[in-house]
Amino acid sequence: MRRAAGIAAILVFVASLVCFWPGIPMSDTFARWASVYTITGNLDVPWAMTGTLTPVMIILMLAAVSLGFGTGAFLFIQLGFLALAAILWIRLTSSVRPMWVPLVFCLPIVFLYTSFVVPDVWILGALVVLASSLASITRGSVVIGYFLFFAACVILFGFRYNAWALLPVLGYFIFSFRGSAYWVRALLSLVLAAALAAVVLIPGPFGFQGRTSLVPIVAWELIGALRIAEQRGLDVDPGLRLDDIANTDAAIARHSFVTADTLVFGENPPLPTTVLMDHESLVVRRWFRLILAHPLLYAETKGQIYKCMLGLCDGYIQTEIGSARPWPFLQPYVQNFNADRDPARFVLSVGNAMGRQLKVLLVPAFWVPVSVVVFLASWRRYNPFDRMLIISAAVYGLTFFILNAAASFRYMFPTYVVFTAYQLRSLVELAASRLLRPPPTA
């Protein structure tokens, strides 16, 4: 059964490769390709080396291009990594009928995302590989286990900054191994430190000068609070406004609780990221003053943000995927996915129809409570691998409820896939228990 499930998973990813070659891009994808071709010397895009996007993913994209197969090589590597994660998942889960693993990747919206060139897809694979590596080490697969652990940590902490919140959880996993020698825990700690050092130190020699900062999110929350105050006619300290660096009224008019893109990242934003980065201390100070002077207003602002993140706002975004066109200066270098050809056109239409018509199934307000019920009912049947994967995915999803700039489905995609997979497992096991139950004796 495990071999059949593994073959099925590989076939799913091959189908995705055939449908969506050379990958479904978005604007962030093009920004990363601009960085890649600036490094290679084909382009000279100054902002490409000073942006806030995670450089580790860009370096991996550079390695893919270096193979000589163009930008499509990165999709091949992305799907190969997902296939590895799926096979490890099938091999290490406690379920004796793990066909639900390839089944979750057959869901239209998940099938679309497997070829969506965004870091969130890689985070899903990294969470699975991380749990797999720790489980493999406890089973005696030492060499491959440490290698997978290092690779998973580099991807996890290098592709999404908020993943650093998983460090305490990872430390708990390492030091809670039962029966493991002290040297195993010490070596895992050293490998983890090496992975974190690689994430921090490697981008510098490639020329990246971007700064990691939460100031766009802080500004988004600050303007959101001013928006609520204006709508409700509340008196707030005028010193909380940002008129000395931007047009606060224009920012309030453009503000959305669904995404910060219209405020700081979109076309002609009223609060450009560069301006915010240059006045970081000023913005952060006023954000703190808002919290201290108007705690109830700030609580209402966070409540509105959480409402949207749970999918309870009308504008819950990115449950549908479209193929963007490369910017003119990138067109000679970046292969463009053709969304008009079959079977990609059919698969895209089905996946996006699911995003529109079955949106209730995709919002966290639905699948999180259902998953919690499933976990409570099945926790004793899970082995350490299953539990580590579920806990890691849950904590990763929670990080977006601390500081997040969008109620986007793709940010919750890794958690959604893991949680939905274990929902499918419960359904498969329930169906199998019914069908394989021996007939009652006379």
Q: 280-293 and 295-309 are packed helices; what angle lies between their axes, rounded to 10 degrees?
A: 110
Bridge-partner residues for 259, per DSSP? 406
Smallest CA-to-CA distance from 425 within 108, 5, 128 is with 5
* Rounded CA Rg of the chain: 23
Q: Give which of 125, 120, 130 is closest to 170, Cα–Cα.
A: 130
pLDDT the model gives residue 185: 83
136, two tokens: 């493999």
pLDDT score of 353 more than 80:
no
Closest-CA residue to 27 (of 254, 334, 271) = 334
Residue 343: phi and psi, rounded to 5, are -85, 0
Nearest residue to 218 via CA among 302, 310, 331, 344: 302
How far apart CA 228 and CA 215 sit, in angstroms, is 20
Amino acid at 108: P
Residue type, 331: Q
Q: What is the spatial distance between Cα 21 and Cα 44, in angstroms, rounded to a whole number?
A: 27
User: Could you give phi then psi for residue 259, rounded to 5 degrees?
Assistant: -150, 150
Structure confidence at residue 152 (pLDDT): 95
**pLDDT at res. 342:** 67
Determine the Cα–Cα distance for residues 33 and 71; give it in Å rounded to an integer. Answer: 8
Q: Contact 310/408 with Cβ under 8 angstroms? A: no
> Which residues pair with residue 317 across a beta bridge?
408
- Among 298, 283, 289, 288, residue whose Cα is nearest residue 243: 283
pLDDT tens per residue across span 225-259: 999 999 988 888 888 898 888 889 999 998 888 88
Tokens for 209, please give them: 């000068």
From the list 365, 353, 263, 359, the residue with the least C-alpha distance to 310 is 365
Q: Among residues of the chain, what percentage have pLDDT more than 70? A: 90
Instruction: Specify the pTM.
Output: 0.90
Instruction: Work out the angle between the directed axes of helices 27-39 and 55-66 (0-180°, nearest 10).
Output: 60
φ/ψ of 256, rounded to 5, equals -135, 140
Confidence of residue 262 (pLDDT cuts 50, 70, 90): confident
| Bridge partner residues of 406 (DSSP) | 259
Per residue in 264-310, pLDDT (tens digit) is: 766 678 888 778 888 888 999 999 999 998 999 999 998 888 888 88
| Those residues with Cβ within 8 angstroms of residue 205's Cβ, 6 or more apart along the chain or in another chain | none
- At CA 242, angle to CA 240 and CA 243, rounded to 5? 120
Return the higher-pLDDT residue of 344 and 226.
226
Query: CA dist 218 to 38, 236, 261, Å?
Result: 30, 18, 13
**What's the mean pLDDT in 87-99?**
93
CA distance 147 to 191: 9
Which phi and psi angles does 5 have, rounded to 5°? -65, -40
Count of C-beta atoms within a 10 Å radius of residue 364: 23
